[in-house]
Amino acid sequence: MVVVKVPKHAAEEVIERARKLSLLDRCREVVREGDFVLIPLTSPLPDVAEGVEVVDKCLPARRSSPRSVLDALRGRVPREMLDKVPRSYDIVGDVVVVNDMRLPRDFWGLFVEAIRGVHKNVRVVLVKVGGISGEERVGGYEIIYGDEGAETLHKEHGCVFKVDVRKAFYTPRLSGERLRVAKQVGEGEVVVDMFAGVGPFSIIIAKHKPGTRVYAVEKNPAAYNYLRENIRLNKVGGRVFPYMGDARKVLSTARFRRVASRVIMNLPAGAFEFLDTAIQVAGEDAVIHYYAFAEKGKREKTTEALRNKLLELTPEFKILTTRIIKEVSPSKDMLVYDILVMKKHNP
């Protein structure tokens, strides 16, 4: 290892030159020493500039960031606790959301340190302390790091979403599914998003397919306010039209009857009860994206219940695809059914 001592005002230039010549020793730290900077090199620099001095020093090894929270906690928590370290968590903007915290509270401080070591821009860490329930889909969360609130801006597929997950449901784990649906939408389609939340499905569709018209319905007042704000932030005001209220009531008026070429039913815990409304707003040859939870190994039971309900509501339909979107728990999956409503049906 070669170490050069450089006046502080010239350090940037020397580091850049060493980098271009592939002579910068990336395994060692650059160290400031008074009005000078010590720079580690793998070999001497040719044509050493005036004021640059080769010195006999050993610089400390560069500390590499841990690759995972688990790596960061090895040796810091008892070995038997490593199995309880969350392997996955959501990052929403600059907020980390831990949905499955099994570490005892005594270790939460160390967990936060590990999170911040892996993700440098984290401002808030939330831990879910209550399950998501109801049509508003809001769970209970506790802030274990940060004191400025959990509202954040999250970017997804060229869109930006303002949200506080303590007040309105949002998960980045459906990012791929939202893009999948958006890519299916044709120009000029009319989309009804029955449970719009803060608007990710609606806004991504409108942004990617400017010729579409999206009716976005949301019952939770906090989520609805975020929906309106996100429509403004993404400049899709002439394409996404927000409605606040229960989807069944909002969509029961004549103006929505058979208006949709596509219906989104992202309420996996309760969409089944709204299938009659979805059929009412679906036009001929409309596609319904229906989301549901299913116990592992019992998908057929969920599919059979859906099929029987659809038979009660419309004379002809076809389940085009069924996919597992994500694992919700060790015993439960989230599914999506793409359903084609093929012929005109009774109102």
Q: Is the pLDDT of residue 347 over 70?
A: no
In the 3-class helix/strand/coil scheme, how is the chain assigned residue by residue? CEEEEEEHHHHHHHHHHHHHCCCECCCECCEEECCEEEEEECCCCCCCCCCCEEECCCCCECCCCCCCHHHHHECCECHHHHHHCCCCCEEECCEEEECCCCCCHHHHHHHHHHHHHHCCCCCEEEEEEEEEECCCCEEEEEEEECCCCCCEEEEECCEEEEECCCCCCCCHHHHHHHHHHHHHCCCCCEEEECCCCCCHHHHHHHHHCCCCEEEEEECCHHHHHHHHHHHHHCCCCCCEEEEECCHHHHCCCHHHCCCEEEEEECCCCCHHHHHHHHHHHEEEEEEEEEEEEEECCCHHHHHHHHHHHHHHHCCCEEEEEEEEEEEEECCEEEEEEEEEECCCCCC
**pLDDT at residue 133 greater than cutoff 60:** no
**Domain 171-341: which CATH class?**
alpha beta
Confidence (pLDDT) at 64: 63
Q: Which of 148-152, 170-174, 191-195, 215-219 has the lowest mean pLDDT?
A: 148-152
pTM: 0.79
Using pLDDT thresholds of 50, 70 and 90, give the confidence band for residue 131. Answer: low
The more confidently predicted of residues 4 and 292 is 292
| Overall average pLDDT of the 164-177 stretch | 95
- The rounded percent of the chain whose pLDDT value lies above 70 is 94
CATH no. for 2-55 = 3.30.70.2580
* Mean pLDDT calculated for residue range 142-166: 94
Tell me yes or no: is domain 69-150 CATH 1.20.1260.10: no
Q: pLDDT tier at 18 (50, 70, 90 boundaries)?
A: confident
Q: Do domains 2-55 and 69-150 have the same CATH topology?
A: no
Q: Please report, for the chain, the start and end positions of each structural domain, with discontinuous segments joined by +.
A: 2-55, 69-150, 171-341
Question: Would you mind telling me the total number of residues written for the chain in this entry?
Answer: 347
